[in-house]
Copies of this chain bind each other. A is one copy, B any other.
Amino acid sequence: MDIVIGNTECKGNTVSLRYALLALLTVEPMTGYDLFKHFESSVGYVWHAPDSQIYPELRRMESDGLLEGREVPWGPRGKKTEYRITDEGVETFRAWMNTDLEYSRERDPAHLKAAYLEWAEPEAARSQMQAHITHYRARLEQWTEKIREIDDGASPMLNKRLSGIPAEEHQKTVAFKRFTYEGLIARAEHEIAWAERGLDLISELYRTP
């Protein structure tokens, strides 16, 4: 007889926030608000979640034994809950990291719209492409800044992470972070180039001869 208790099994497929939270908590213990702030800023453009998802998920993860919550005083009367990853949490994260992702089907509104762009007014079509460029330019800047931080040793999270592991592993940790952001930068550049070609195409198609 198999007995499974509280097995909220997240399939490799759905990352569902859980592993993103575990990833951040491998670096250091944090409160829900800390995690929320990370998702709002830096990390937020690889993974994002609102606080209303984070707090309940943290409680669920605690009851699944992946985290340990601890009340910490905050000012004279306030308090906050700091979550620390447990050994089981580390193992769960490691197991996920050792499992291949299941790639889910694409769901790509920008390209869906692009395929039907003849339905839009020329100005609206241009505006979409411009919005695409603006969006990815912002990402590009953020990610370029990330690379700069990595190279300058100016990333607080990365430095904390490095201080917790032996020196001979620093290289790998830094290299994979850099590799990730390089990929995101290249992708952003591609998206910008694509949308710029889109703008040219629109001009060409709607040129009054």
Which residues does A use to contact B, with CB under 8 Å? Answer: 15, 19-20, 23, 26, 44-48, 93-94, 97-101, 103, 105-121, 124, 127-128, 131-132, 135, 139, 169, 171-173, 175-177, 179-180, 182-184, 186-187, 190-191, 193-194, 197-198, 201, 205
**What residues of B have a CB within 8 angstroms of the CB of A97 in the complex?**
113, 116-117, 119-120, 124
Q: How far is the CB of A120 from chain B (nearest CB, A)?
A: 4
**Contact partner, A176, options B101, B107, B118, Cβ 8 Å:** B118
Contact B112 A47 (CB under 8 A): yes
Closest to A121 in B: B98
Closest to A39 in B: B105
**What residues of B have a CB within 8 angstroms of the CB of A175 in the complex?**
201, 205
Contact A103 B115 (CB under 8 A): no
**What residues of B have a CB within 8 angstroms of the CB of A114 in the complex?**
176, 179-180, 183
The 8 sampled A-B contact pairs (Cβ below 8 Å) are A15-B107, A46-B111, A94-B120, A97-B113, A100-B127, A101-B128, A118-B172, A172-B205
A interface, over-half SS = helix
Closest to A186 in B: B190
**Contact partner, A100, options B93, B131, B172, B193, Cβ 8 Å:** B131
Contact B106 A128 (CB under 8 A): no
Contact B108 A128 (CB under 8 A): no
Q: How far is the CB of A114 from chain B (nearest CB, A)?
A: 4
**Contact partner, A186, options B100, B113, B194, Cβ 8 Å:** B194
**What residues of B have a CB within 8 angstroms of the CB of A108 in the complex?**
46-47, 184
Contact (A106, B179) CB under 8 Å given A101-B128, A116-B23: no
